[in-house]
Amino acid sequence: MFWYYISMFCAIYSNTQIHLIKDTLISFGISLLTPFGFYLLPGIFRISALSNRNKKSKKNKTRKFLYIFSKFLHFF
C-alpha cells in the first residue's frame, strides 16, 4: 500500500523524484550508522575502565566510575 502512494506521488509530482530518492538514501544511511555511535561510545569507556595497567587505589576509583558511566550510557 505504501509503494502505491509513493508511485502516485512520483507520477503526479515528477520533478520531485530525484529529491525523494536522495532523501530516502540519506535517511537509510543515517539509520544504519546511528547505532554504531550509540554502541561505540559506551564500549570505549568500558574498555578503558577494564584495562589492567596499574592497581593504585585512586585509579581504581576512576575505573569504577568509568565502568558505571559506561553502564549508564548503555542503558540510556
Asked whether the beta carbons of 46 and 70 are under 8 A apart, the reply is: yes
Residue-level pLDDT at 56? 59
What end-to-end distance do the CA atoms of the chain give, in Å?
A: 35
Look up cell 575505573; give the residue: 63
Q: Which amino acid is present at 36?
A: F
pLDDT in tens, 11-66: 898 888 899 989 999 999 999 998 888 888 888 888 888 876 666 556 678 888 88
Domain boundaries defined on the chain: 2-75
Distance CA 74, CA 35 (A): 11
Does residue 2 register a pLDDT over 70? yes
